Amino acid sequence: LLTSSGSKWRSRRKLLTPAFHFRILEDFLPAVNDQSNILVRKLGQLGKDRSCNIVPLVTLCALDIICETIMGYTINAQSNQDSEYVQAIKVLGHSFTRRLETPLYWIDAIFQLSKPGREFARKVKELHQFTLKVIRERKREILSCPELQESYEETASESDVYGLKGTARKPFLDILLREHIKDPENFTEEHVREEVDTFMFEGHDTTAMGMSWAIYLIALHEEHQDLIHQELDTIFGSDKTRPVTSEDLKQMKYMECCLKESQRLYPSVPFISRKCEEDAVICGRKVPKGTDIQVAIYNLHHDEQVFPKPDEFRPDRFFPEKCERKTCFCVRPFSAGPRNCIGQRFAMMEEKVVIANILRNYKLVALHYRDKIHVMAELVLRPTSGLHVKFIPRESAKQQ
């Protein structure tokens, strides 16, 4: 879905859109709550100074969430960082970074012969094999269970969501398998694997960095953190363990403004590419059909004409009465148009749940100001030296 174009992209987009229907997203909430609570417990096990680089921990949490919700499979990345899958993901990231940093590796043939290129190919093969194993296991479950097969009927009743019935649904993988079982020649297991891997790789890293930047900025700005704490206390009272519900998410209005401002300052994907499909004139310059265009999302989000003092963290920019005065394309952390991020509602839901569960339990303190944070633009916008935050249990914070 990310790299295809033309009729292939259109058919895949149409096929996958139902997997992110709001009713199906509600089914993901238990998994997101469970994995975020594991992260909360791990933060409680930090050493005496109660601080850490938040990026690796949040990344493992996001990986567990995406595996469970996309594939219906638990890899326990947070409790087993040495698992083959987790290590393979790390190697792929390092190899990709090496390729970006080395112009000679931009030539496919040279990269494929290099040590990073060979290691990259090995790890890609391992991940493909793992994904195919999960796909085949799920396919066997469906074919051997009459009740599951019934859920694949083409016609759905009004109580169903796109033909997926009851508690047995694992939306993303199951929608793909439904298409594969219906037409195995034109939609093969390999096609299923392509889409699952795309969402696994792209879905966990972008969301992990989005959450990490938000946690850091909230930790850095105590006045905004206090307002989020007040909002969460209004919703949950003193209960720190009740699972977050879809109704709770609707009430997290100030937190949502903080998340959107974080996405404006540090968009997970700082650049997007598009191809001009017809001749155009932009700012008096002719842009021929077929031209590749890079859209600098980071620069777009720091336009002083739209955002006065653009480097300041000001969540009030996203209050409803102020948003109405802005054009819809001035903030695009999830891209825009027909090729926008298909999982953006899922990402916002995940960020809200994870950060809400953290803030219900901890007061956050950033250990470095923003002038000490340097970023690098890979596939996602990363800090070069991590984001270090201190986590103080809220009971202790109140006594200080």
Concatenated DSSP letters for 63-119?
Answer: HHHHIIIIIS----TTT-TTSHHHHHHHHHHHHHHHHHH-GGGGSHHHHHHSHHHHH
Distances (CA, A) of 279 to 68, 226, 285, 296, 329: 44, 51, 11, 21, 21
Q: Read off the DSSP letter of residue 391.
A: E
CA atoms within 13 A on the CB side of 147: 5
Cα gap 186→184, rounded to integer Å: 6
Q: Which pair of tokens denotes residue 284? A: 């008096």
Q: What are φ and ψ of residue 272, in 5° steps?
A: -130, 155
Cβ-based neighbours of 397, under 8 Å, separated by 6 or more = 363
**Three-class SS state of 241:** coil
> How far is residue 371 from each of residues 98, 261, 311, 363, 383, measured CA to CA in Å?
26, 18, 11, 22, 12
The annotated binding site for heme is made up of 341
